[in-house]
Structure 1
Amino acid sequence: MSSLSRLSHALIIAASVCAFASPANAQQPASMDTARIEQITGLKGTFSKQEGVFKVSKPRNDVKVQVDGSTMPPFMGLTSYAAFQPAHGSQVMMMGDTVVFEDEVNPAMSAALDAGLEVTALHNHFFFDQPKVYFMHIGGTGDAATLAEGVKKVYDRIAEVRAAHADPENAFPGHIGDSSNISPAPLEAVFGSKGQTNNGMFKVVVGRTASMHGVTVGNEMGVNTWAAFAGTDDEAVVDGDFAMREGELQAVLKSMRASGINIVAIHQHMTGESPRILFLHYWGKGKAVDLARGVKAALNAQAAITR
């Protein structure tokens, strides 16, 4: 082979290598300072060359958990994590799953929202777990350091809850009696619509529509937001469900948490619907009219997005 042929052959090989190389194979993406992420979160991470993802993890070994009568080690799914991946330009995408006990959920959620992160799901992974364990999914896109600071604030808030009470709490503050005597008129004035009454309780329902398999489904099929009130006017509880498009979720969450209403689940009820509908379940305690105003404020925040 001549010198010219050998040079051409080498150039072809080099071009082939470049063609098959990807950012995921680099030692570290230029737009993501992994050492800075570790410094901010205070956690050691691992980098996947194959996917170009840097992940920090935090095992929940501060509280002993039993599932179905057996002790559950963090390796079996009780580890919080936040994963970072280069997105567009200098921006980074973060996705994470956070292990939380019932009394940590809403403080951690508020910390995430206040830090500019998104909360995208809240659910359980187990049955017969003691204490009850939930999983809060978080995410965001932007500056890697800012996202890492948000993750750190979530983890710090969880630590503050556990520092105040080593064992997870089993009830929200406040007392609600077994009998109900809710005055409908003040709540109907807040919502601007008539509600349903039953044995001293009050309920208001707001329907919306979606399409499934070419069929329109609405309020009576379960595509609705509702709020039910029990107790008394001064010591009431509200529970309910919010039906939201994906783009409305964060606004509703922020509004509900600003009103002190606790979020207990975020998930879907259907598959194949259009537009996609997410559902948020909530629980609040306080004066009935204050709780109604909190729910109404979230409805208003949702409406502002859908206009």
Structure 2
Amino acid sequence: MDLGKTRKQLCQEFARILDGAGSLDENGVCLVQKFRNLKFTILGRRTRSPLVLPQFFTFEDLDSQGRALNLGETVLLQEEINPLLTELRKRNIIVTAVHNHWLFEEPRAMYMHFESIEPPLVFARKIREAFRVLKR
């Protein structure tokens, strides 16, 4: 089996575990996208923008042991920050940022970024488990 096909299959399994849509780009980066079903307004207007509701996950740069650079970002409600932070840390996922993107939004939309170096499917399973603390 050629390496390209293997990476494509790995990307599809990564996406399946994370319950999102996966794609492999020309640089070998696997991107999984999904969007939360949360209700936000910005400047008093309802928004369903993918810029407001994202969950993005990537892996790239697989080494000879099958470990990759894994990155993630998710939108959160303010009250979800500490529970998710705790769950990610329990799983040795490094949280690199918690911040806002918007002004005048209701409720408060926050964004968390996280990373690890490990096999991508291990990362995906850890994320799936940690995200159980999020409201659906």
Length-normalised TM-score, structure 1: 0.40
Q: Distance between the aligned counterparts of 1:91 and 1:150, measured in 2?
A: 14
Q: Hey, which bits of structure 1, 4+ residues long, moved more than 4 A?
A: none
Match in the other structure for 2:7: 29
Whole-angstrom CA distance in 1 between matches of 2:132 and 2:87: 9
- Structure 1 position 28, deviation (Å): 4.7
Query: 2:104 aligned with 1:104, yes or no?
Result: no
Which residue pairs with 2:63 in the alignment?
Answer: 88
Other-structure match for 1:55? 31
Q: Residue 80 and residue 127 in structure 1: after superposition, are their counterparts in 2 closer, same or farther (change >3 A)?
A: same
Superposed CA deviations along residues 107-141 of structure 1, whole A, max 9, x for unmatched, are 11111111221100010001111000000001101
Shift of 1:55: 1.5
The one-character-per-residue Cα deviations of 1:176-211 (angstroms, maximum 9, x if unpaired) are xxxxxxxxxxxxxxxxxxxxxxxxxxxxxxxxxxxx
Q: Paired residue for 1:150?
A: 126
| Identical amino acids, percent of aligned pairs | 22
SS at match of 2:7: coil
Determine whether 1:141 maps to 2:117: yes
Provide TM-score, normalisation by structure 2: 0.86
> Is the CA contact (8 Å cut-off) linking 1:29 and 1:86 kept in structure 2?
no
- Whole-angstrom CA distance in 1 between matches of 2:32 and 2:73: 11
Q: Which runs of 5+ in 2 are unaligned?
A: none
Checking the alignment, whether the CA contact within 8 Å between 1:60 and 1:74 is kept in structure 2 is no
Q: Map 1:286-301 onto structure 2 (within 5 A).
A: none
Instruction: Show the counterpart of 2:41.
Output: 66
Q: Does 1:78 align with 2:53?
A: yes
Whole-angstrom CA distance in 2 between matches of 1:59 and 1:136: 14
Question: What are the equivalent positions in structure 2 for 1:254-265 lying under 5 Å apart?
Answer: none
Aligned-residue CA RMSD in angstroms?
2.0
Structure 1 distance, partners of 2:81, 2:36, is: 14
Q: Which residue of 1 aligns with 2:18?
A: 41
Larger radius of gyration: 1
| Distance change >3 Å, CA 154–CA 81, structure 1 → 2 | farther
* 3-state SS in 2 of match to 1:119: strand
Aligned to 2:108: 132
Cα deviation code 1:246-304 (max 9, x no counterpart): xxxxxxxxxxxxxxxxxxxxxxxxxxxxxxxxxxxxxxxxxxxxxxxxxxxxxxxxxxx
Contact kept, 8 Å, 2:12 with 2:23, in 1: the verdict is no
Would you say how many aligned residue pairs link Structure 1 and Structure 2? Answer: 133
- Structure with the greater relative contact order (CA < 8 A, sep ≥ 6): 1 or 2? 2
For 2:101 and 2:12, how far apart are their aligned partners in 1? 32
